[in-house]
Chain A
Amino acid sequence: MEKNRAVLQGTHFLSGDLACAEGALAAGCEFFGGYPITPATEIAERMASRLPEIGGVYLQMEDEIASLAAVIGASYAGKKAMTATSGPGFSLMQENIGLAIMTETPLVIVNIMRGGPSTGQPTMPSQQDVMQARWGSHGDYEIIALAPSSVQEMFDLTIESFNLAETYRVPVMLLADATIGHMWERVKIPPKEEIHLSWRKKPEVAPDKYKPFKPDENLVPPMACFGEGYRFHATGLTHNEEGAPATVSSEVQDRLVRRLCNKIRRNTKKIMKIEEIMLDDAEIVVLAYGITSRAALSAVRMVRKEGIKAGLLRLVTIWPFPEELVAQIAKKSRAIVVPEMNCGQLVREVERAAKTTPVLLLSKLGEEPHRPSEISSALRKAIK
């Protein structure tokens, strides 16, 4: 029997970066376009070694601008495609993130966040690109971003990122950090047939009837690919359903941009993944994501032993932000503590949703993620 080389089987000891590459292959990714950058390089290295085994393409471009442009091209040529980078490369990608949004290109961008601004601290973790992921490219748009907190999740959420990208025809961001990227843990890979995969919806009409940007009931247009005989045009310019530029029509601009936002906004509940831990009777809540949520869970357990009714809301999906849910939890809580490895980014969203409930930022920069004791002290202070 021919071995399935795309999906490793069984249990493996992997770093987060390697698990991400294996997740991508299990998701059906056949094209990687990237540029080496710490702490994401191991993803590129693994893909360079693994993709030829399955007949895929590893392409190292001259910079991250070109990397994402090539990934968009590969996706339009019909392949599941991805790139992986860190802050400085992510900054360079912002231009073509806009293009991917405007041309509704399914693809995955992995950002193993390191300390910034600028070259910053290449080997040190951060969560400093949370707002750049949301707002980095010009114009109005919505984005999907997932935050893994373990090596297992680097595998699982990379697959999930591809599924979301294909379902909604959007670039999906996997926002990890240097700690998770470089950390080694056990990864259990399920049998191939148990891995759920989504693929872009194909047009069901004849080529002469095909309108490349006419949405279905889910606000997502079925996608033809190059070479399939549909002979369509796509552009970064504002365009109508036929794909023709409409550079001065207010109506087309309004309809297109609102649809691009609404296809994510209206599907927020379907997209959203969160974990609610000990929240039922919680008087005080930690809202955390990524690596920080692990220390947060320990902290919640520590203070529970002391009789403090604490709970954890872990965001797996950070964009779109689960505003309604946070508002509901805030209503029942005395305070929300938000540990972040930045000067306070997602905390702004929490404050907006929490309204009158006090929100306390626990900001940390540099080498070390939050310690459980730092978060537990913040919880004790907050409950007083």
Chain B
Amino acid sequence: MKKSNILQNHPFAKYLRQDRMPHIWCEGCGNGILLNSFINALDELSIDLDKVVVVSGIGCIGRAAGYVNVDSFHTTHGRAIAFATGVKLANPELKVVVISGDGDLFAIGGNHFIHAARRNVDIKVICANNFTYGMTGGQYGPTTPLESWTTTTPYGSIEHPFNLVHLAAASGAIYVARWTALQVRRLKNSIKKSLQKEGFSFIEVISPCPTIYDRYNKLGTATDVMRLFKQISQVQHGYDPSKAVITKNQIMVGEFMDIEKPSYGRLLREMTIRVQEKLKGEESK
């Protein structure tokens, strides 16, 4: 079958910009699984696609914004969350989703992440964590495990990595979950849940990188890495995110945080109403 026929007949055809295919991602990469789960979530919720905005930063997963057939924006490196904050507050009708990577969101963009979580801006952040900078060929980043081999840690990494779910929860996110690229149904359900909540949500997706990180660290093929995810993932909802540290032998997955708290947008609207009512009162005196 020709490429155009495959695309047109795909059940998700309407969700993708067909002229942007094929995508740039490697075989076995988790990014496609993440995007597929996101589209499944949109599909099951029957969300009005005219009111969805996908924002991404720089890196392999950064191209996701260009592939989905909704309003989308590909920002400068690290700034997806800051841009998304402006979008959401300027037009609260929109569902604003940030899809980006561990380096983009937590190294160069780390400051924006913690502050958006603190403000509880109603945006959904989905992070593909492959433990490396894939687009530039595999340098170490803020999530690279200690002792890992990357092109800039030729003697093994000597930096302690972030525990992203702990960081998100401590910064103020109302919904925090982690899944590997293996648990697609649960990942999709988490995305659905976050889209229905009002506030800052964070979902970490542990993603295979068979071309670069997994190969450098002798973790085997993409299927080997999926097998590893199966062996070492442990589902435990409500687990203390501060203890959910990723090790060689264990990846804690699940929903770690699911609370309610007034979003920034809600507080802003309430304040605006108060200010305007007071003004009206003064004017009618």
- Is there an interface contact between A69 and B279, defined as CB atoms closer than 8 Å? no
Q: Could you list 5 A-B pairs, sorted by A, with CB under 8 Å?
A: A70-B85, A73-B88, A74-B86, A233-B71, A233-B73
CB of B25, distance to nearest CB on chain A (Å): 14
Asked if B75 lies at the interface with its beta carbon under 8 angstroms from chain A, I say: yes
User: Taking the complex as formed, is B65 at the interface, i.e. its CB lies under 8 A from any CB of chain A?
Assistant: yes
Count class of interface residues, chain A: 35 or more
In the A-B complex, the 3 residue pairs with the closest CB atoms: A73-B86, A70-B86, A69-B82
Q: Are A62's CB and B73's CB within 8 A? A: no
Interface residue? B272 (CB, 8 A): yes
**Interchain CA distance A371-B53 in the complex, whole Å:** 54
Q: A52-B271, A61-B115, A244-B19 are in contact. Are A73 and B84 (CB under 8 A)?
A: yes
Are the C-beta atoms of A231 and B71 separated by less than 8 Å? yes
Asked if residues A72 and B83 are in contact (CB atoms below 8 Å), the reply is yes
Stretch at the interface among B89-97, B151-159, B217-225, B245-253: B89-97
Contact A62 B112 (CB under 8 A): yes
The answer for the CA separation of A97 and B215 in the assembled complex, in Å, is 38
Residues facing A in B269-285 (CB within 8 A) are 271-272, 275-276, 279, 283
A227 touches B50 (CB 8 A): yes
Give 1 or 0 for each of A68-97: 1 = CB within 8 Å of chain B CB.
011111111111010000000000000110
Q: Is B111 an interface residue (CB 8 A)?
A: yes
Give which listed residue, A31, A66, A67, A235, contacts B90 with CB less than 8 A.
Answer: A31
In the complex, A180 Cα to B265 Cα: how many Å?
35
Q: B10 an interface residue at 8 Å Cβ cutoff?
A: no
A74 to B51, CA, bound (A): 15
A30→B271 CA distance, assembly (Å): 16
**Do A61 and B82 touch (CB < 8 A)?**
yes
Query: Does A33 belong to the interface (CB within 8 Å)?
Result: yes
CA distance in complex: A81, B71 (Å): 19
Give the nearest-CB partner of B80 in chain A.
Answer: A69
What residues of chain B lie closer than 8 Å to A103, measured between beta carbons?
73
Could you tell me which B residues sit within 8 Å of A by CB distance?
17, 19-20, 49-51, 53, 55, 63, 65-66, 69-76, 79, 82-91, 93-94, 111-112, 115, 268, 271-272, 275-276, 279, 283
Asked if B84 and A66 sit within 8 Å, CB to CB, the answer is no
CB atoms of A78 and B75 under 8 A apart? no
The B interface is mostly helix, strand or loop, or mixed, namely helix
Beta-carbon contact of A98 and B76 below 8 Å: yes
Give CA–CA (A256, B12) in the complex, Å. Answer: 32
* Residues in A whose Cβ lies below 8 Å from that of B17: 233, 244
* Chain B contacts for A59, CB-based, 8 A: 85-86, 89
Most buried by B among A3, A30, A52: A52
CB of A66 within 8 A of CB of B76, answer no
Once A61-B115, A231-B50 are accepted as A-B contacts, the answer to whether A74 and B87 lie under 8 Å apart by CB is yes
Asked if A73 and B70 sit within 8 Å, CB to CB, the answer is no
Q: Nearest-CB distance from A3 to chain B (Å)?
A: 6
A71 to B86, Cβ gap below 8 A?
A: yes
User: Which A residues are CB-close (under 8 A) to B83?
Assistant: 69-70, 72-73
A99 to B78, CA, bound (A): 13
Q: Which of A31, A228, A236, A244 contacts B20 (CB 8 A)?
A: A244
Check B19 against A242 for contact (C-beta < 8 Å).
yes
A203 at the interface (CB under 8 A from B): no
Name B86's contact: one of A31, A231, A237, A242 (CB within 8 Å). Answer: A31
Are A233 and B65 closer than 8 Å at their CB atoms?
yes
Chain B neighbourhood of A61, CB < 8 A? 82, 85, 115
* A33-B86, A69-B75 known; A226 vs B91 contact (CB < 8 Å): yes
A244-258, CB < 8 A from B: 244-245
Which residues of the other chain, B, contact A76 by a CB distance below 8 angstroms?
Answer: 73, 87
A232 at the interface (CB under 8 A from B): yes
> Which residues of the other chain, B, contact A234 by a CB distance below 8 angstroms?
72-74
A57 close to B90 (CB less than 8 A): yes
A228 surroundings in chain B (CB, below 8 A): 50
Bound-state CA distance A233–B54 (Å) is: 9
Given A69-B82, A236-B76, A244-B20, A231-B90 contact (CB < 8 Å): no
Residues from chain B with a CB closer than 8 A to the CB of A95 are 76, 79
B135 to chain A, nearest CB (A): 11
A78–B53 alpha-carbon span in the complex (Å): 13
Q: Within the assembled complex, what's the spacing in Å between the Cα atoms of A236 and B74? A: 6
Partner of B111, one of A62, A98, A226: A62
A5 at interface by CB-CB < 8 Å:
yes
Select one of A30, A69, A70, A245 contacting B76, CB under 8 A: A69
Check A235 against B74 for contact (C-beta < 8 Å): yes
Contact at B76–A99, with CB atoms within 8 Å? yes
Question: Any chain B CB within 8 A of the CB of A229?
Answer: yes
Most buried by B among A62, A63, A81: A62
CA distance A228 to B87 in the complex (A): 13
16 other A-B residue contacts (CB within 8 Å) besides A72-B75, A72-B86: A3-B283, A31-B90, A53-B279, A66-B79, A69-B86, A70-B86, A77-B86, A77-B87, A77-B88, A226-B87, A227-B93, A228-B50, A231-B71, A233-B66, A234-B73, A244-B66
Are B115 and A74 in contact, with the CB atoms below 8 A?
Answer: no
Indicate if the CB atoms of B72 and A233 lie closer than 8 Å: yes
A65 at the B interface (CB under 8 A): yes
Task: Check B90–A69 contact: CB distance below 8 A.
Answer: no
Q: How far, in whole Å, are A99 and B86 apart by their CA atoms in the complex? A: 15
**Do the beta carbons of A227 and B51 come within 8 Å of each other?**
yes
A335 vs chain B, min Cβ distance (A)? 45
Verify B82–A65 contact, CB threshold 8 A.
yes
Asked if A227 and B272 make an inter-chain contact with CB atoms under 8 angstroms apart, the answer reads no
Q: Is there a chain B Cβ closer than 8 Å to A55's Cβ?
A: yes
What is the bound-complex CA distance between A238 and B58, given in angstroms?
14
